Amino acid sequence: MSRLLVRRPSPRLADGEVTHIGRTSVDPDLAQRQWEAYVDVFRTRGWEIIQIDAADEQPDGVFVEDAVVVFGDLAVLCRAGAESRRGEAPTVREAVAATGLEVAEIAAPGTLDGGDVLKIGSTVYVGASSRTNAEGIAQLTALLAPRGWQVVAVPVERVLHLKSGVTALPDGTVVGFEPLVDDPAAFPTFESVPEEHGTAVVVLGPDEVLMSSDAPETAARYEARGLRVVATPITEFEKLEGCVTCLSVRIRD
């Protein structure tokens, strides 16, 4: 059974970090409803939902993908690039320890945000961003190389995280909104999409993806490729540079 690590939104969500976009009003009640609908996408497909303990004092705590990345039977606990987010780590550490996965951890002075990590086959693309530094990438490489993963660093300056700009379809095609992608040539196969919020997909199965409902033209393109598209509204999280990947950590058994 596949498992999903999530954490409910903090009442202080509107105070979350923003870096590349202007701050706009966030509706906490709507965010909660959108989060519940997001989680239900996985629940109705048989995923086991694991809720990390609430961290209401951490506005960005709902974006659990940044806190841990899973590589097979190894969970790598990240060290947040934003100091304000490091208080999220203890409860994430406890939840991950209970999964039975082997656990490793990025240590100071390294920083690594999970939103900068894109896995395609045995290749791990890592965004060299304002949140992930060279030492963090080096530590991740040292952990993964003995396990057969190849780590490739790519520049990220136009968006917050690598996966704010690109993700991958089930066949490995990297998709992104080209004006926000620093180096499309960094990827063997890149396809531009017409909408900013169409860049982020979560692979639910070999022919099914989850994405934001705010990119209907992109969704139509994916459907034309033969994919089943599940679209869900996440407007309140997009106001904080979040996307469908950020709201969960997927453990595929």
Distance (Å, whole) CA 211 – CA 128: 24
Distance (Å, whole) CA 141 – CA 149: 8
In sequence order, the β-bridge partners of residue 118 are 125
Active site residue 20: no
Distance (Å, whole) CA 248 – CA 186: 26
- Helix, strand or coil for residue 32? helix
Question: Nearest Cα to 195, choosing from 171, 208, 211, 173?
Answer: 211
Active site residue 161: yes
CA angle 55, 68, 100 (to 5 degrees): 95
Q: Considering 78, 197, 243, 246, which one is annotated as catalytic?
A: 246
Residues in the chain, total: 253
Sign of CA dihedral 53, 205, 165, 193: negative
Q: Considering 20, 78, 161, 197, which one is annotated as catalytic?
A: 161
Q: At 147, which amino acid appears?
A: R
Active-site residues, by number, are: 161, 246
